[in-house]
Amino acid sequence: MKLSVAIPESSLSDESLKIDKTRKISVLARACAIFKTETIYIYQEGGNYKQDGTLMSMILRYLETPQFLRRRLFPKMNDLKFAGVLQPLKIPSHVTPANAKKINVGDIREGIIVSIKGKKFVDVGINQLIQFFGKTGIGKRVTIQFKEGYPKLSVKEINKDEAKGYWGYSVKERSNLFSLLSEWKGNIIITSRKGKTATKEQLSKYVNSDQPTLVVFGSPEKGVHEILGGRMKNVQNAKSLNFFPNQATETVRLDEALLGTLSIINAQSTQ
């Protein structure tokens, strides 16, 4: 099942301190990584939340980046002031040995392109640069596969989706939710208290589909129906589902909703 999520840039509005906002983003990133989310869309919904949206996008990208690449790709900045409280994702693209002798043909790595005396090399975290003949520019991140193992270590550039297993999420911003849903090619699940209870029968359509599924979450202040307003009826291939029927709390926080919803979907997809 190809799964993506859409969350509003106001997702952090219920936290006042940057350290607490940072912790919340870490929980969101972990939930998305646990359940193999392909893309996290951050959508605008109006209001003065641009700063929060920028912070969320930055830290989500930072967390998805392998540790050895972060210093080169993310210079010191105020948005990463509390990076020390972030929990590592430990996804397959991060758990890679630094010993070049352990590299085999077919291994896939993330790296960064560097220039030495006019020639391109890729740094994949093994204390040894490997000559690179791909199109990716200097200073850019790249996914590579080893054509030859140790000691020759030759590589080729590949697309991330060629990696076996989960290789991390991407982060994309959208100007509003309606345009995102209008452009989406696939199924849409709108999480809402107003929706039908998410049963095994309701979810079977999505977990057995070859089409990608986008799971949409509302903000701390507004549900998805309120955000879309009258345009809700114009959204195609969408179904509103309630993943927390009979909830005892007045609201379900986004971090709770994301982890709980993706857990329920995952449980159905493994049956």
Confidence at residue 271, expressed as pLDDT on a 0 to 100 scale: 64
CA distance 255 to 28: 6
- Per-residue pLDDT of the chain (271 residues), as tens digits, is 899 999 999 999 999 999 999 999 999 999 999 999 999 999 998 889 999 999 999 999 999 999 999 999 998 899 999 999 999 999 999 988 889 999 999 999 999 999 999 999 999 999 899 999 999 999 999 999 999 999 899 999 999 989 988 999 999 999 999 999 999 999 999 999 989 999 999 899 898 889 999 999 999 889 999 999 888 888 888 999 999 998 998 889 999 999 999 999 999 877 6
- 270's tokens: 């493994």
Residue with structure tokens 């930072």? 62
- 26's tokens: 């870490």
CA distance 13 to 159: 35
Nearest partner of 211 among 179, 188, 244, 235, judged by Cα = 188
* Sequence letter at residue 185: K
Confidence at residue 240, expressed as pLDDT on a 0 to 100 scale: 94
CATH 2.40.50.140 fits 100-162, yes or no: yes
Residue with structure tokens 């709390």? 249
Q: What stretches of 21-64 adopt beta strand conformation (E)?
A: 39-43
Contact assessment for residue 10 and residue 219, using Cβ atoms and an 8 Å cutoff? yes
Ranges of each domain in the chain: 3-90+169-269, 100-162
How many residues does this entry show for the chain? 271
- Residue 262's contacts (CB-CB under 8 Å, 6 or more residues apart) are 3, 5, 31, 32, 34, 35, 37, 215
The whole-model pTM stands at 0.94
CATH of 3-90+169-269, one of 3.40.1280.10, 1.20.1740.10, 3.40.50.2300, 3.30.930.10: 3.40.1280.10
* Sequence letter at residue 109: R
Distances (CA, A) of 168 to 8, 34, 61, 159, 258: 20, 10, 10, 12, 17
